[in-house]
A and B are shown apart, each in its own frame.
Chain A
Amino acid sequence: MQTIDTDVLVIGGGVAGCLAAIGAREMNARVAVVDKGGLLERCGSIAAGVDQILAVAEDGPEWDTPEYLLRHVPKLTDSIVDMKPVETFVRGLPAMLRKLEKMGVPFKDPSTGKYFRHRTFGLPGEYHIDFDGSKFKPKISRAVLDSNAQIFLRTMGVNFLIRKDQPVGASVFHIRTGEFYFFRAKAIVLATGDTNRLSRNSSGLAFDSWHCPYNTGDAQAMAARHGALLANMEFTENTITPKGISSQGTNSLTGLGAHFINAKGERFMLKYDAAGERARRDILTSAIISETLASNAPIYCDCRHLPADILERLEETLGVDRPSLPRWFKEKGIDLKREPFEVTVSEFSSRRGGVYFRGSGILIDDKTATNIAGLFAAGDCCTVSGGISGAAVMGYEAGKQAALFAGRNGVEESLQDQEIEAEQERLFYPCCNAKGISPRDYENKVRQIVTDYVGYQRTEDKLCTAIEELRALAAEESLLRARDYHELMRVHEARNIREVAEMVATAALERRESRGSYSHFRADFPRRDDANWRKMIVLKKHDAGYAVDYRSIELQNATLEATNAHID
């Protein structure tokens, strides 16, 4: 057992966690970062690389300002959005782009010296910069290492302790050696990303997931267990993937002009949205679900009409998100120039319901603070989610705010040895259950329940069944077994995935309307109902499930139905 003293503990070493560490170190706080990964350069969702970033560069065009983008946020989020923290995010974008460039991230195209920008996801301008992101995470990790933050790799944060209504430390273990660390901290930043492995996919392999399968809602579940508020949990998201491999990558294909066609050879996207294949992600996936349910499957992605230089660019960037994707195409014998390839919809992820700016997760305010004093959250685990730039801006803010809190209000609580020992026992219990339930079997049950009874065609009956079955599984948590410390990690992940699944089902049952296409579609309430449901659903855990509350939407600085900018 080791006890480590720090001012700010950052749980999660992805983009948000790294920028939190940098922000807190700039304020001269002592900082420790824990992550399950083996190398900070490769921790987080974009461990394998990234190919685009949402940016406001203030580079000349009318749309290239925070104000212009902010005006369109309500429309882009179907009006369910918390504008105050979104303002922190969007107004922070230009400065963060320059900060990341100073760290050495090459956003400019080396052949032109300019940003290669394009319009995608229904955004009202060419907000995305295409870039070679293979060095993105290594560059910001270098900045973290240079800042002298303490880094603890292959370590999983499982729980934090609260005394006098604020966190005083957290329990962490090493996933290979089983060493137990107790971090005494004055403030905590949660930044463990989104939740995956929640439902089934086309390969049937749980870890073949669109987003990083090792992101398992650790922060959301940990925070919920201590009474932190979570919001927007009913909105789930998915993407279009080549059938058989749950990989992003079709984003850049459609961004550059690829079409979707159905079994009849019809290009159908324009029936669903004027922006066609450049519509928001949730509209794209919804159209494919609708076409499939209308017996128009198989659905294909067609690149044959694209000019040779664009196709060349596509093939170069295809493997940036997941380096194995070009090989998968090759082994299947697919040549993008000659034939369309079959696509379907991925498993779903609890992240941001397919739209930028509104996260499904821990409720934060404009300073990234949660309802627990001294507890902050950033990135895809909280209610403001916006890709790597959202994680960077909000992570940086969280680090600064946590350092401020630690300096002003942080207490160094002297915890009794037996309190820490009790914590250790709670964490390691599965190691004593030699004949218990394997975390894989447990998780498979969660995925089947979520697929069948939450799914894309939600009804009260089905959601009640889901909640009942998920709670029955909660009662089996104490029976989970771990044969080594790696499996102990999978046990805690499985517990967290189940917890998030229960939150998704509970919020989905509450929202008795449909909104955001299939990100929340209630077959028993198929219409959008602004009169009753233009509000956020907020959850708070209690002994037998979750209490539901609402938060009204304030849209002072933005028009509700912003006019759609010209879409090419």
Chain B
Amino acid sequence: MPILINEDLCVKGCTLCDQFCPGDIIYRLDPQKTPVIKYEEECWYCGSCEEYCPTDAVKIVFPQEMLHSQTQAESLFGKPPKNTDEAPSKV
């Protein structure tokens, strides 16, 4: 879960996290109940919810993929082209 809500600190009636989330991830349709993290895999990890929570009840939790990325950078740069080892010439 990318976003943890501390139920003891969360103030009933407040819907700031729901409104501030740019991705429509956090829902507090009933302001008396704890907010629901409805679409967790769509979180930007921007931290707006945590930053603007008036009672510090929200905490962003970074997943392992972000804290200990194992991705080989080369795999992000595309399949190697055939028969060439050129790099961009200096502009």
The reply to whether chain A is a binding partner of chain B is yes
A244 in contact with B79 given A272-B90, A323-B46, A489-B24 (CB within 8 Å): no
Q: B38 to chain A: which residues have CB within 8 Å? A: 486
| B42-A207 in contact (CB<8A) | yes
Give the distance in Å from the alpha carbon of A38 to the alpha carbon of B21 in the complex: 7
| A517-B19 in contact (CB<8A) | no
Q: A440 to chain B: which residues have CB within 8 Å? A: 41
Q: Which of B36-85 contact A (CB under 8 A)?
A: 38-39, 41-48, 50-51, 60, 62-63, 65-69, 71, 73-82, 84
Give the distance in Å from the alpha carbon of A524 to the alpha carbon of B44 in the complex: 36
Choose one: A202, A323, A324; the contact of B69 (CB below 8 Å). Answer: A202
**A147 close to chain B: CB less than 8 A:** no
Q: A458 to chain B: which residues have CB within 8 Å? A: 78, 81
| A245-B78 in contact (CB<8A) | no
| A204-B24 in contact (CB<8A) | no
Q: A294 to chain B: which residues have CB within 8 Å? A: 87
Return B24 CB to nearest CB of chain A, in Å: 6
| B18-A203 in contact (CB<8A) | no
Q: A526 to chain B: which residues have CB within 8 Å? A: 84, 86-89
Give the distance in Å from the alpha carbon of A516 to the alpha carbon of B90 in the complex: 9
B18, B21, B69, B75 — most chain A CB neighbours (10 Å) = B69
**B23 close to chain A: CB less than 8 A:** yes
**A559 close to chain B: CB less than 8 A:** no
**A208 close to chain B: CB less than 8 A:** yes
Give the distance in Å from the alpha carbon of A527 to the alpha carbon of B90 in the complex: 9
Give the distance in Å from the alpha carbon of A36 to the alpha carbon of B22 in the complex: 8
| B84-A523 in contact (CB<8A) | yes
**A108 close to chain B: CB less than 8 A:** no
Choose one: B39, B60, B66, B88; the contact of A205 (CB below 8 Å). Answer: B66
| A524-B19 in contact (CB<8A) | no
Across the A-B interface, how many residue pairs have beta carbons closer than 8 Å? 178
| A457-B62 in contact (CB<8A) | no
| A175-B78 in contact (CB<8A) | no
A42, A203, A328, A345 — most chain B CB neighbours (10 Å) = A203
| A175-B47 in contact (CB<8A) | no
| B20-A323 in contact (CB<8A) | no
Give the distance in Å from the alpha carbon of A456 to the alpha carbon of B90 in the complex: 16
Give the distance in Å from the alpha carbon of A201 to the alpha carbon of B67 in the complex: 14
Q: Count residues of B near A (Cβ-Cβ below 8 Å).
A: 45
Give the distance in Å from the alpha carbon of A39 to the alpha carbon of B43 in the complex: 17
Give the distance in Å from the alpha carbon of A207 to the alpha carbon of B65 in the complex: 13
Q: A331 to chain B: which residues have CB within 8 Å? A: 62, 67
Q: A208 to chain B: which residues have CB within 8 Å? A: 44-45, 66
A455 in contact with B47 given A245-B66, A524-B84 (CB within 8 Å): no
**A195 close to chain B: CB less than 8 A:** no
Q: B43 to chain A: which residues have CB within 8 Å? A: 207
Give the distance in Å from the alpha carbon of A560 to the alpha carbon of B91 in the complex: 14
Return B53 CB to nearest CB of chain A, in Å: 11
**A251 close to chain B: CB less than 8 A:** no
Choose one: A38, A286, A516; the contact of B24 (CB below 8 Å). Answer: A38
**A164 close to chain B: CB less than 8 A:** no
A399-407, A446-454, A532-540 - interface stretch: A446-454
- The residue of chain A having its C-beta at the shortest distance from the C-beta of B42 within the complex is A207
A289 in contact with B77 given A205-B65, A208-B66, A514-B89 (CB within 8 Å): yes
A209-217, A363-371, A385-393 - interface stretch: A209-217
Give the distance in Å from the alpha carbon of A202 to the alpha carbon of B67 in the complex: 11
Q: Which of A342-376 contact B (CB under 8 A)?
A: 344-345, 347
**A119 close to chain B: CB less than 8 A:** no
Give the distance in Å from the alpha carbon of A292 to the alpha carbon of B41 in the complex: 29
Choose one: B48, B77, B78; the contact of A453 (CB below 8 Å). Answer: B78
Return A501 CB to nearest CB of chain B, in Å: 14
| B47-A48 in contact (CB<8A) | yes
Could you name 17 residue pairs across A and B whose Cβ atoms are closer than 8 Å? A48-B48, A201-B76, A203-B66, A207-B42, A207-B45, A212-B22, A243-B73, A244-B69, A292-B77, A451-B76, A451-B78, A453-B78, A453-B79, A458-B81, A486-B39, A526-B84, A526-B88
Chain B contacts to A: CB under 8 angstroms: 18-24, 38-39, 41-48, 50-51, 60, 62-63, 65-69, 71, 73-82, 84, 86-91
Given contacts A48-B47, A272-B90, 13 further A-B contacts (CB under 8 A): A39-B19, A48-B22, A207-B23, A244-B65, A290-B87, A325-B47, A345-B76, A455-B78, A461-B81, A461-B82, A462-B78, A462-B81, A527-B89
Chain A contacts to B: CB under 8 angstroms: 36-39, 42-43, 47-48, 78, 154, 175-176, 199-205, 207-209, 212-214, 243-245, 272, 283, 286, 289-290, 292-294, 297, 319, 322-325, 327-328, 331-332, 344-345, 347, 440, 451-459, 461-462, 486, 489-490, 514-518, 521, 523-524, 526-528
